[in-house]
Amino acid sequence: MKLITKNTDYAVRALLVLGGHPQEYISARQVALEQLIPYQYVRKLLRKLMHYDLVVSRDGAGGGFTLKSSPSKIKLADIIRIFQGDIQLSECMFRKKICPQRSRCVLRTHIMSIERLVEKEFNGITLESMLKELKGKK
Amino acid sequence: MKLITKNTDYAVRALLVLGGHPQEYISARQVALEQLIPYQYVRKLLRKLMHYDLVVSRDGAGGGFTLKSSPSKIKLADIIRIFQGDIQLSECMFRKKICPQRSRCVLRTHIMSIERLVEKEFNGITLESMLKELKGKK
DNA sequence: TTATCTGAGACTATTTTAGTATCAGTTAAG
DNA sequence: CTTAACTGATACTAAAATAGTCTCAGATAA
Ligand code: FES
Ligand code: FES
């Protein structure tokens, strides 16, 4: 069971790179090199982060990506949601209007509360807090 | 992001069926019918539960499966571990001796503590408690 | 002896995750 | 005004995880 996929992991690292160079445009190539992420792959991730308004890009030579908003506003939970979708109970169809099993489903309420707990934890971790930790390690 | 896969979900349902008929041997067919799980699939799950000592089987006509130990001893966390493996951080290689990224890895400690939190929650849910809830719903 | 069961293992299918390749268009700098 | 360093978009392929099927040998109750 994985709480975090490679996608998310890479995305966080990429954002940390951008966060490490405020106001600068950093190319995908540089991110790939700094974090040892496959070049084309990180480009894809960065583009996705752009679609979700976490970063902005600039075309052409000297271009690249930079954070759109302050690191304190970027939560780990957001990143996870972008790359792994919402936290959700297996095949339980309770999102699809009415689940036929619902009346005798025992897992549902438990999972939902644990999901909320996890979400809360992930919400407490921001890019800012991660950047600080990183500085502490250097 | 899924905390629970279909595997686990089915397995829990199967165990609930067995738990609903203490001391009786229930056939895979009956479990499949009661819970609308594909027959061959549930057989495979039950066999796995047997390998992990949660249930015992009896061959031949009138045979089937029954819980090996008391429902109070069967934790949701056990079932998840059987079907989804340990909770673990993405590709972080810190299990493999030394991870090259470790020194500048910021996610590791966070994820580990959240993993422990989740594990603790799942440990608090037993087959017994689920059976009780189910009775309350009937 | 037959119908009903499990054990085991090989398969196939589907979905999710990871990664690559290509091409058109933008921009800075010589 | 050409070239090198970029991004946007999209279509791919590959690998891994999950879900589900099929078949056959052997056990057992009736
Ligand atoms: S399976 Fe639908 S409510 Fe749980
Ligand atoms: S990636 Fe290895 S310690 Fe985090």
Residues of B in contact with A89 (CB under 8 A): 2-4
Q: What is the pLDDT of residue A109?
A: 83
Q: What is the pLDDT of residue B96?
A: 45
Residues of A in contact with B83 (CB under 8 A): none
Is residue B1, in this structure, part of any structural domain at all?
no
Nucleotide nearest to B43 (CA to C1'): C6
Is residue A21, in this structure, part of any structural domain at all?
yes
Rounded Cα–Cα distance for residues A78 and A83 (Å): 9
Per-residue pLDDT of chain A (138 residues; tens, 9 = 90+): 888 899 999 999 999 999 999 999 999 999 999 999 999 999 999 999 999 999 999 999 999 999 999 999 999 999 999 999 887 765 554 444 456 666 778 888 888 889 889 999 999 999 999 999 988 876
Is residue A119, in this structure, part of any structural domain at all?
yes
Is residue A77, in this structure, part of any structural domain at all?
yes
As given in the structure block, the two tokens for residue A132 are 């600080």
3-class SS at A80? helix
Separation in Å, CA of B40 to nearest CA in chain A: 19
Number of domains in chain B: 1
- What pTM does this model have? 0.92
Is residue A72, in this structure, part of any structural domain at all?
yes
A87 → chain B, closest CA residue? B1
3-class SS at A69? coil
Phi, psi of B37 (to 5 degrees): -110, 140
Short-list B91, B110, B82, CA closest to B4: B82
Is residue A106, in this structure, part of any structural domain at all?
yes
Q: What is the pLDDT of residue B100?
A: 63
Is residue B51, in this structure, part of any structural domain at all?
yes
Short-list A16, A49, A8, A48, CA closest to A34: A16
Instruction: Say how far residue B121 (Cα) sits from the centre of its chain.
Output: 14
- Which range marks the domain in which residue B35 is found? 6-137
* A93 DSSP 8-state letter: G
Task: Give residue-wise pLDDT tens across range B72-103.
Answer: 999 999 999 999 988 776 555 444 445 667 77
> Which nucleotides on strand C sit less than 7 A from a protein beta carbon?
3-10, 17-22, 25-29
Sole residue written with tokens 């719903």: B137
Give the CATH number of the domain where residue A25 resides.
1.10.10.10
8 A C-beta contact, residue A80 and residue A4: yes
Is residue A1, in this structure, part of any structural domain at all?
no
